[in-house]
């Protein structure tokens, strides 16, 4: 039996859906454009607003796709941990005394601008869910 393996999707194939998902999540979180830009790795304002206006046709770099992947993982974990959308979406803005947050909110940590900041929040939530 001869089976054909489908090629892995390209960054261009992933970029439009990734950006649409990202903007849906940040809308649920009530984030401002400047906060969205930081989470995406601080693209230029013109690039950011072009992505926001029409994500199809964009080809994101690996760093931006990684950042969006972390945001999606954070969002998904929160909606698995909390029983309703309001609690899940509000959690990122509440102060957190857990190690790594030092009384700051997860959003403040994520807005540090580095991929490691997104990773740290995702790792914390995975541990809370018992996935580490």
Tens of pLDDT, residues 8-59: 777 777 888 899 999 999 999 999 999 999 999 999 999 999 999 987 777 8
Cα separation values, 95 from 6, 59, 101, 103, 123, Å: 45, 35, 8, 5, 17
Which pLDDT score, from 0 to 100, does residue 56 have?
74
Instruction: Flag whether pLDDT at 71 surpasses 80.
Output: yes
Instruction: Flag whether pLDDT at 128 surpasses 70.
Output: yes
Cα separation values, 94 from 9, 103, 113, 130, Å: 37, 9, 19, 21
How much is the pTM? Answer: 0.89
Instruction: Flag whether pLDDT at 99 surpasses 90.
Output: no
Which pLDDT score, from 0 to 100, does residue 2 have?
67
Alpha helices in the chain, H assignment, sequence order: 11-29, 33-39, 45-53, 62-81, 85-90, 106-110, 115-128
């Amino acid at each position: 039996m001869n089976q054909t393996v489908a090629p892995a999707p390209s960054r261009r194939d992933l970029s439009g859906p990734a950006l649409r998902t990202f903007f849906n999540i940040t809308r649920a979180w009530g984030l401002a454009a400047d906060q969205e830009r930081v989470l995406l790795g601080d693209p230029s304002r013109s690039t950011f607003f072009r992505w926001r206006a029409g994500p199809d046709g964009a080809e994101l770099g690996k760093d931006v796709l990684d950042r969006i992947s972390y945001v999606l993982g954070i969002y998904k974990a929160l909606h698995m941990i909390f029983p309703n959308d309001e609690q899940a979406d509000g959690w990122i803005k509440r102060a957190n005394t857990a190690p790594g947050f030092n009384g700051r909110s997860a959003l403040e940590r994520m807005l540090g601008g580095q991929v490691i900041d997104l990773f740290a929040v995702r790792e914390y939530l995975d541990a809370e869910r018992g996935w580490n």
